């Protein structure tokens, strides 16, 4: 099953854009500011969460428009045995002017919650804004882990939501002027520990699967990262609940919870050098991110239809690394969407790709 048709209405600078006849490799070319990344952002909204820019929904509506927008896509299934083709799956995302902060999701015309999108598509992306991931905050790397884990396990979004809700409630009780009721804290901590243990397990499994896939990679011009999951508390629900109970006095003084998966860290080092990724060169950091993105895309494509969104990924790669990247993309299981300001860097895949030129929010099919 592959995404075949995409329609954008009043989204960013796209008043009405339609992309049909996609391929395994899809290329959007155009000048900076033309609206290429806006198409990738629209695709990223078919995953639970805030999309590749993490922007508020209200900011995505076309300037000067009604304040709402709509995005629709069709997943075209492969023929079943005997050549019979099943009906396409229609996905829709909309925001109304009356409620610009609420995303409305439809699957085959029926309203669904955003988490249901993960049942149909596994989506990953790499953007220039992510180049600073290794030097960014631990919170940014936790969001990164959760996004990757969600692409492998749709249930991860619900687990993370339950944990965040319980964490907010515990922090509210801890910051109250009067001491919270111990029995109420017991109940909240039980919920927090159960969801926290499941969240930590999902992250640990993600890092383990990525580590195995990275270790199995053949020789490549891309730097190989070594990953380690550093938990912010006990990994089992019983142990986490006990740790939370012991930490109540300290947490109340801090007016926040100081132990648990919200303190997790993803540790990345440059394999072979034992050098922290944050201390590696800019080129090495980019190469490690690409390596992680590619192995994750292959893992995601093994379970569900997968999209890989690559924004300006070829711009700063030398010819050797570009060739290695394109070879991996052709061999991988994900449908790929790339952007670039010109066709020249993509000459090796030009004949195999569906290509669109984007100009001031208008999309024209080139091949």
Strand partners, 54: none
CATH 1.20.1050.90 fits 133-281, yes or no: yes
Note the Cα 242 to chain centre separation in Å. 33
Among 228, 208, 327, 238, smallest CA distance to 271 is for: 228
Closest residue by Cα to residue 202 from 128, 118, 107, 294: 118
Give pLDDT tens digits for 34-67.
Answer: 999 999 999 999 999 999 999 999 999 998 888 8
Q: What's the pLDDT score for residue 351?
A: 94
Q: What is the DSSP string of 110-158?
A: EEE-GGGGGGT-EEEEE-GGGGGGGGS-HHHHHHHHHHHHHHH-TTHHH
Give residue 83's pLDDT. 61
Helix axes 138-152, 282-301, angle to 10 degrees: 30
pLDDT tens, the chain, 367 aa long: 689 899 999 999 999 999 999 999 999 999 999 999 999 999 999 999 999 999 999 999 998 888 899 999 999 876 555 666 678 999 999 999 999 989 999 999 999 999 889 999 999 999 999 999 999 999 999 999 999 999 999 999 999 999 999 999 999 999 999 999 999 999 999 999 999 999 999 999 999 999 999 999 888 888 899 999 999 999 999 999 999 999 999 999 999 999 999 999 999 999 988 899 999 999 899 999 999 999 999 999 997 899 999 999 998 899 999 999 999 999 999 999 999 999 999 999 999 999 999 999 999 999 8
pTM, to two decimals: 0.94
| pLDDT in the model for residue 316 | 83
How many CB atoms neighbour CB 344 within 10 A?
A: 10
Report d(CA 317, CA 2) in Å as an integer: 28
The reported pLDDT for the residue numbered 79 is 58
Cα 256 from Cα 55, distance rounded (Å): 26
Give the 3-state secondary structure percentages of the chain, helix then strand then coil, rounded to 5: 45, 25, 30
Q: Does the CA dihedral 44-49-54-60 come out positive or negative?
A: positive
Query: Where do the domains of the chain lie?
Result: 133-281
Q: What is the spatial distance between Cα 219 and Cα 150, in angstroms, rounded to a whole number?
A: 29
Tokens 């996004």 locate to 147
Q: Compute CA 178 distance to the chain's CA centroid, rounded to the nearest angstrom.
A: 40
Q: How far is CA 64 from CA 28, 50, 231, 249, 336, in A?
A: 25, 22, 46, 52, 32
The number of residues in the chain equals 367
| Per-residue pLDDT reduced to its tens digit, 255-300 | 999 999 999 999 999 998 889 999 999 989 999 999 999 999 999 9
């Amino acid at each position: 099953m592959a995404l075949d048709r995409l329609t954008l209405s009043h989204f960013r600078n796209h008043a009405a854009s339609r992309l049909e006849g996609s391929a395994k490799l899809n290329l959007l070319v155009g000048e900076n500011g033309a609206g290429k990344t806006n198409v990738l952002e629209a695709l990223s909204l078919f995953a639970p969460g805030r999309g590749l820019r993490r922007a508020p929904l209200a900011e995505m509506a076309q300037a000067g428009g009604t304040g709402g927008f709509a995005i629709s896509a069709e997943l075209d299934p492969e023929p079943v045995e005997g050549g019979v083709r099943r009906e396409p799956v229609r996905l829709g995302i909309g925001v109304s002017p009356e409620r610009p902060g609420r995303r409305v999701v439809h699957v085959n015309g029926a309203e669904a919650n955003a988490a249901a999108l993960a049942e149909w598509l596994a989506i990953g992306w790499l953007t220039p804004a992510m180049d600073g991931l290794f030097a960014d905050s631990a919170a940014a790397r936790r969001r990164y882990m959760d996004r990757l884990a969600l692409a492998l396990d749709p249930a991860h979004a619900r687990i993370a939501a339950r944990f965040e809700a319980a964490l907010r409630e515990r922090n509210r009780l801890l910051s109250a002027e009067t001491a919270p009721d111990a029995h109420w804290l017991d109940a909240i901590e039980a919920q927090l520990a159960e969801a926290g243990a499941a969240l930590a397990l999902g992250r640990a499994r993600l890092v383990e699967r990525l580590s195995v896939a990275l270790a199995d990679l053949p020789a490549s011009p891309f730097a190989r990262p070594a990953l380690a999951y550093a938990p912010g508390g006990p990994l089992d629900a019983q142990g986490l609940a006990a740790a939370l109970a012991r930490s109540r006095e300290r947490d109340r003084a801090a007016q926040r919870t100081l132990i648990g998966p919200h303190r997790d860290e993803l540790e990345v080092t440059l394999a072979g050098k034992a050098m922290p990724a944050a201390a590696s060169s800019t080129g090495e950091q980019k190469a490690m991110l690409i390596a992680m993105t590619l192995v994750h895309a292959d893992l995601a494509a093994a379970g569900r239809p997968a999209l890989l969104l690559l924004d300006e990924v070829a711009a700063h790669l030398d010819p050797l690394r570009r060739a290695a990247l394109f070879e991996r993309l052709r061999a991988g299981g994900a449908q790929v969407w790339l952007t670039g300001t010109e066709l020249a860097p993509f000459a090796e895949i030009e004949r195999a790709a569906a290509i669109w030129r984007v100009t001031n929010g208008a999309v024209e099919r080139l091949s």
